Structure 1
Amino acid sequence: MKKFLALLAFSSFLFVSCLSDDAQPPVFNVPTPTPITYTSGEADFSKYVSVGNSLTAGFSDGALFIDGQAASFPNMMASSFAQVGGGEFTIPLMADNLGGATLGGQPILGNRLFLSFASGSPLPEAVSGTGTTEISTVLTGPFNNMGVPGAKSFHLLAPGYGNVAGVALGAANPYYARFASDPNATVLGDAAAQAPTFFSLWIGNNDILSFATSGGAGVDQKLNPDPSTYGGNDITSPLAFGPTYNGILQALTAGGAKGVVANIPDVTSIPYFTTVPHNPIPLDAATAGAVNAAYAAYNGGLAQLQMAGAISADELARRTISFSEGATNAAVIIDEDLTDLTSFNPALINMRQATAEDLMVLPGLSFIGTLADPNNPSSVNGVGVPLGDQWVLTPEEQAMVAEAAAAFNQTIADAATTFDLAFVDANAFLQELNASGIQLDDGTTVTATYGTGGGFSLDGVHPSPRGYALLANKFMEEIENKYGATLPEVAPEAFTGVYIE
């Protein structure tokens, strides 16, 4: 294209130079681009309120901080809404860009991560310093961004979820405690009290995420509709999620507000679960031989019980532990779904080596290969000492997550139809980000690759500012489709993919 334009310019110069003095060069009619007329369509953005969890708040790199809040997808959308009649969009800003926070002067929240090259290799590291955000210093609202990091669906309806007195007891949320209108207020109540003309709702991720990120350490509460009996890492029952979700929408639409809702991405496809391989252990021949010798009694005991009919041949093969010379030995893990053989022999615990079907959690990046006992060189985590349940999400646990997510997403899709709302398929968006990436206007491609892809922040769970920009555009695309609006797009190139300091 550049060569063609250069040749065209040179030819035109020759043509003009050959004209007589009184001749005039031909006039080419270049069409003037038609200016885009932005419009709100059938929507009214004069009072936009966003409701959700950390994804709505702008949480990234393991913390909530001012720059991250400014780069939240609702704030980006509000900037576009402002050009078609949208009003002010207020945010309960943290006190600084560190992200840490204190309660009564004692630190309770950690600082954000950045990509450090101090060790020679790029690694995530927490910024230094003490955050100046004091949780007990309650802000005066109301606030348009009602995203509360850590909130599950039923938390939005829970009185006292923002009570400062309950934070230290684990009965209240420190982020919401900073801006709740009253100690007994609810997130939904504070949102609905603002009488929004338009809202966004993205909730439900945490109802399965904490189970997944804890390596399945919680309980699948599939048939239990009472959230008051749940543990912190449990999967919310669809029997609880359905009525809760529809109740939230009833409150938000009660005044005639229009809005947009989003479903739940496949949490097991985020970098938190796709970065650490199942076989990251390098061993030389001598070490591999020594480790195999140490596991000989375990393998022998399994073989005897298989012959006795206590386990199948398939389970014997699955549980037999073997290391070899090389850099791709699989880690030894605890798997609670294996047959319990400890009644035969207490040493035959539920352990096996990981396979490609297991998902190792991101913190394992700095844990696997360390010593459980500094004075015992054979106590290598993942080799001599099996990784506990919290370090891996097994296929059985993944199936629980997938089943709950499918039920939640069906509820969300049905509710979008029932309440006549715009619907964002965030699950499909993440699949696209994983499979092929998303190309930007400058030719670069944003992917879900940890640290370098640009789509996710360094916590491996939350988008980067650039990822949030892509999401903002996706939300606005569906708003345009549903309500006939024409909105200015966000430029993802203007936002960072990773913080480097």
Structure 2
Amino acid sequence: MKKFLALLAFSSLLLASCIDDDAQPPVFQVPVPTPINYTSGEADFSNFVAVGNSLTAGFSDGALFTAGQTASYPNMMASSFAQAGGGEFTTPFMADNLGGATLGGQPILGNRLFLSFASGSPLPAAVEGQGTTEISNILSGPFNNMGVPGAKSFHLLAPGYGNVAGVPIGAANPYYARFASSPNATVLGDAAAQAPSFFSLWIGNNDILSFATSGGAGIDQQGNLDPSTYGGNDITDPNVFAGAYIGMLQTLTAGGAKGVIANIPDVTSIPFFTTVPHNPIPLDAGTAAAVNGAYAAYNGGLAQLQAAGLITAEELAKRTISFSAGETNAAVIIDEDLTDLTAVNPALINMRQATADDLVVLTARTFIGTLADPNNPTSINGVAVPLGDQWVLTPEEQGLISNALTAFNQTIDDAAASFNLAKVDANTFLKVINASGVPLADGTTVTATYGTGGGFSLDGVHPSPRGYALLANKFLEAIENTYGATLPEVAPEQFTGVYIE
């Protein structure tokens, strides 16, 4: 080693002696990147107003809270717009990061979720404490972020939707009640009163979503044009949606404003429906035999009625219940679309075991396996006691959702063309996240896997801040392509995929 070092030193001296006294050593300069000239193109971002529901508001982890609102996709867009002539973007912030809220001092909204390791395994849990947001403390607007969690399309046009007096009876929205300009105001009216130079509109998700997350417990209101008669979990009639949607765009573009709209994702592909398997029940041999014995009369009664021609052999096979030792037993569920046999035999209720075509809701993960009767150890939900309609989305119910989704998105597609607006294909993009994930610059990949994928928050419905960042970039991309703007992207790696405390 010493010989090598000596040789190296000698070689350096020799090289130095060979350099001409007048020669100068080369100078290496790091290239300076050419500054990007961000521009608005044909758009005007000086007064950007975002209209929509919980997705626009920045709702995540089951609540609305300040950090989530800061990480809303419109707020990210506004930060990008600021580099191309964009103005101030204001938000009706909640009072803290808990997410809970009170009305007259009484809690009416729950706290946000976080990933807790208290039990040794990572599980979602609500943060402790009482939120300091009081709904009756009206904020002074106007606000650029007009996202209202829970709003359906026709709600944005409804006078009184922000009336505090209507909140206790469900006639008004507690989130909008905090910042409505008056008790009789409308969300659309408050947005239009700001004379936006540019707008975003993403609405219609809740016109389908509440039906889905309730396990199809609502009604498909196709043919009913009176939304005042709808229940909270009903699917909006496509004509009602189209009328509300076109009316909103006519109002928002009346002053010459340009904007960007987004279609509705397939709600059945979100983690709320893809996390809990249809067959989560492990049984040992003895328990499986006992359960099968308990269902013997039910299976026998079905066989008799099939022999009598009251049900087909296919339905008999579908309804026959059988358990085996192992960890892949399907849950027993109620299916309203089965043939009603209770007039012949009251014991033959509409139940069957779930299949891979059924979607079990996320909230069922803490319900399946519990006791329906605390005093009866055999009354196991999902085994001896079938899961009710609210826990499972059957193929028939999924079909109703698919029909409405197709109709709503056709309206949005047509509107984008007729109003010459930029459009985000959120439906396709979220399918990509669900199927293959989205790679990031840091080498990670954002997926829709519950709790660990980084794309969705712990409520299984709303994106995480990182997921919202990806969506913000899709909005920016659509704006650039439509209006010739040049805008800085959002860096998703700078936003969290899940809150851990």
The equivalent residue for 1:163 is 163
What is the deviation of 1:17? 9.0
The equivalent residue for 1:415 is 415
Q: Deviations over 1:127-159 (max 9, x none)?
A: 000010000111110000000000000000000
Tell me: CA distance 1:146–1:19, structure 2 relative to 1, closer, same or farther (3 Å): same
Q: Is the 8 A contact 1:224 1:239 kept in 2?
A: no
Residues 198-209 of structure 1 aligned to structure 2 (within 5 Å): 198-209=198-209
SS in 2 for 1:168: coil
The equivalent residue for 1:384 is 384
SS in 2 for 1:165: helix
Residues 272-421 of structure 1 aligned to structure 2 (within 5 Å): 272-421=272-421
The equivalent residue for 2:232 is 232
Q: Is the 8 A contact 1:340 1:350 kept in 2?
A: yes
Tell me: CA distance 1:204–1:412, structure 2 relative to 1, closer, same or farther (3 Å): same
Whole-angstrom CA distance in 1 between matches of 2:326 and 2:36: 60
Aligned partner letter, 1:295: Y
The equivalent residue for 2:183 is 183
What is the deviation of 1:23? 3.9
RMSD over aligned Cα atoms: 1.6
The normalised TM-score by structure 2 is 0.96
Whole-angstrom CA distance in 2 between matches of 1:13 and 1:286: 87
SS in 1 for 2:200: strand
What is the deviation of 1:25? 4.5
Whole-angstrom CA distance in 2 between matches of 1:127 and 1:18: 73
Aligned partner letter, 2:478: E
Whole-angstrom CA distance in 2 between matches of 1:452 and 1:14: 60
The equivalent residue for 2:222 is 222
Aligned partner letter, 1:265: P
Q: Deviations over 1:250-297 (max 9, x none)?
A: 000000000000000000000000000000000000000000000000
Whole-angstrom CA distance in 2 between matches of 1:13 and 1:126: 70
Is 1:254 the counterpart of 2:254 in the alignment?
yes
Whole-angstrom CA distance in 1 between matches of 2:335 and 2:433: 31
What is the deviation of 1:31? 5.1
Alignment length (residue pairs): 491
The equivalent residue for 1:4 is none
Residues 107-122 of structure 1 aligned to structure 2 (within 5 Å): 107-122=107-122
Aligned partner letter, 1:147: G
The equivalent residue for 1:136 is 136
Aligned partner letter, 1:321: I
Is 1:469 the counterpart of 2:469 in the alignment?
yes
SS in 2 for 1:268: helix
Q: Deviations over 1:12-33 (max 9, x none)?
A: 9998897455544456687543
What is the deviation of 1:242? 0.7
Q: Is the 8 A contact 1:207 1:236 kept in 2?
A: yes
Aligned partner letter, 2:261: V
Moved more, 127-136 or 34-43: 34-43
Whole-angstrom CA distance in 1 between matches of 2:16 and 2:74: 55
The equivalent residue for 2:36 is 36
Whole-angstrom CA distance in 1 between matches of 2:164 and 2:137: 9
SS in 1 for 2:327: strand
What is the deviation of 1:441? 0.6
Aligned partner letter, 2:206: N
The equivalent residue for 1:123 is 123
Whole-angstrom CA distance in 1 between matches of 2:32 and 2:45: 31
Aligned partner letter, 2:288: A
Aligned partner letter, 2:149: P
The equivalent residue for 2:76 is 76
Tell me: CA distance 1:13–1:267, structure 2 relative to 1, closer, same or farther (3 Å): farther
Aligned partner letter, 1:370: T
Q: Deviations over 1:304-350 (max 9, x none)?
A: 00000000000000000000000110000000000000001000000
Is 1:210 the counterpart of 2:210 in the alignment?
yes
Aligned partner letter, 1:391: W
The equivalent residue for 2:9 is none
Is 1:439 the counterpart of 2:411 in the alignment?
no
Whole-angstrom CA distance in 2 between matches of 1:17 and 1:215: 85
Whole-angstrom CA distance in 2 between matches of 1:94 and 1:26: 59
Whole-angstrom CA distance in 2 between matches of 1:475 and 1:13: 61
SS in 2 for 1:201: strand
The equivalent residue for 1:5 is none
Aligned partner letter, 2:95: A
Aligned partner letter, 2:440: L
Whole-angstrom CA distance in 1 between matches of 2:44 and 2:352: 57
Whole-angstrom CA distance in 2 between matches of 1:151 and 1:278: 31
Tell me, which stretches of 5 or more residues in structure 1 are unaligned? Answer: 1-11
Whole-angstrom CA distance in 2 between matches of 1:460 and 1:39: 37
Aligned partner letter, 1:397: E
The equivalent residue for 1:3 is none
Aligned partner letter, 2:317: A
Whole-angstrom CA distance in 1 between matches of 2:476 and 2:446: 19
Aligned partner letter, 2:433: L
Is 1:268 the counterpart of 2:278 in the alignment?
no
Task: List structure 1 runs of 4+ shifted beyond 6 angstroms.
Answer: 12-18
The normalised TM-score by structure 1 is 0.96
Residues 56-75 of structure 1 aligned to structure 2 (within 5 Å): 56-75=56-75
Q: Is the 8 A contact 1:53 1:150 kept in 2?
A: yes
Q: Is the 8 A contact 1:57 1:146 kept in 2?
A: yes
The equivalent residue for 2:430 is 430
Aligned partner letter, 2:208: I
Moved more, 54-63 or 216-225: 216-225
SS in 2 for 1:190: helix
Whole-angstrom CA distance in 2 between matches of 1:230 and 1:377: 40
Q: Is the 8 A contact 1:16 1:25 kept in 2?
A: no
Whole-angstrom CA distance in 1 between matches of 2:486 and 2:468: 20
Tell me, which stretches of 5 or more residues in structure 2 are unaligned? Answer: 1-11
What is the deviation of 1:120? 0.8
Q: Is the 8 A contact 1:465 1:497 kept in 2?
A: yes
SS in 1 for 2:295: helix
The equivalent residue for 2:5 is none
Is 1:154 the counterpart of 2:154 in the alignment?
yes
Whole-angstrom CA distance in 2 between matches of 1:41 and 1:149: 32
